[in-house]
Amino acid sequence: MRNRDEVSGKTEEIKGRVKEAAGIVTGDRRLEDEGEGQRREGEAELDLGRARRRLGEAVEDLGDRIKR
């Protein structure tokens, strides 16, 4: 299951892609750059969320092994 960081990161990534595309279509370089930055921030947050989830899963697995 995705965590809050993954969902938020994916949302920001998509919003950034939309802005970036709108900037390209309209020729608005500022909007394109803003979208690119937002997309990259979203990707970073998504990666962080994935890492946190994997770490949490590893801790849970370790806990399960210890209980046995």
Q: Are 43 and 66 in contact (CB under 8 A)?
A: no
Q: What is the pLDDT along the chain (68 residues), one digit of tens a residue?
A: 889 999 999 999 999 999 999 999 999 999 999 999 999 999 999 999 999 999 999 999 999 889 87
- Dump the DSSP string for 47-63: HHHHHHHHHHHHHHHHH
For residue 59, give its domain range: 4-67
Its pTM stands at: 0.83
Give residue 49's identity as a one-letter amino acid code.
G
- The number of distinct structural domains making up the chain is 1
